[in-house]
Amino acid sequence: MSETLKKKLPSSDPKMTKPTRDTIISPPTGVFVPVPTFFQPASNNTLQAKIDVETQVKHSVYLARNGIRGLVLLGSTGEAIHLSREERFELISSVRKGLNDAGFLDYPIMAGVLINSVDEALEWLQDFSRAGAQWGLVLAPGYFGLAVNQENIKDWYTVVADNSPMPILIYNYPGVTNQIIVTPETYTHLAQHPNIVGCKMSHGNVSYHVQVSLDPEIDHDKFRVYSGFGQQLGPIVFFGAAGVIDGLAAMYPRTLSRLMDMAEKRPIEPKTLKEIQAIQFAVSRAEEFIGKWGIVGIKEGVYRVLGMGTLEGGRLPLRGKLPEGEWDKWEAITSRMKALEDAQ
């Protein structure tokens, strides 16, 4: 680690400057991309592949130029758990600088916090705030799975939010947290906290999306609801959700952005509704690829569609690529998405 980076990182017990009610800003509505973390080609001289900051910045700027309203760095797709503290700081600060240099000042960045310890969650948030992120996307603490009750989830998020140097969002992804589900009642409670400004639900329970998005006890200008699945975009935005944080948009940003732009307009004319339905059909079909192949599939898709990154996949244990011929099996779906993307 460079001496410059060491000086920027806070100590292990930082004195945090907490945001005040007047300085708290909620994230915008729209499509956010949970960007993958790019790595350089593997080398026999290193324990694991190094992060590829140049490609990371290039991809982020491309998304900003093509309609994406914000980024999620170092979320689950970004493999935050596979990076060191120094790498996480370098990645966020480099993307922030790259966006600024490209003219995207104050471009929205959420940063993933994927740790169960309150102290370490606050350490990550402090680092990310100094690196240039505006919000922390904080994963529900699920190591102990079903042993965790809703009251303890409320208390855990309250302690983190009370002490976080920036606003946070609740991140519920049962697939990586031993099937923890945050209930609508818990969201209603936590949405009252001034430093909790939204949530991401990465599960298929659309009823929960709708309940939280329409809850009259929640200030929806302040507390924003996002899905982790693009196949839910049209339906949940129609019923009040703020948007999606979606991996398919890493490859086809203009198409997902177009879908979002039309879905949030009111009233929806019959001609517009027909286009929404056509794009949503194509997106939902393409999301089957994301659901099957996850991070490895997203990285290969970005490489094949945009020519960015490599076919190396992620870091161990996710290193690898699609089986031979697998991408070709999805040709009918990817061709439809390419035609939509080119038309935007």
- The token pair that represents 40 in the structure block: 């350089």
Q: Do residues 78 and 116 lie in contact, with contact meaning Cβ atoms separated by under 8 Å?
A: no
The candidate with the shortest Cα–Cα distance to 68, out of 237, 253, 233, is 253
State the residue for tokens 């960015």: 308
Please check whether residue 92 is in contact with residue 111, taking contact to mean a CB–CB distance below 8 angstroms.
Answer: yes
Class of residue 184 by CB neighbours under 10 A (exposed 0-12, middle 13-18, buried 19+): middle
Does the annotation count 200 as an active-site position? yes
Q: Catalytic one among 15, 154, 200, 271?
A: 200
- In 3D, which of 291, 336, 223, 333 has the Cα closest to residue 77? 291
Enzyme catalytic residues? 200
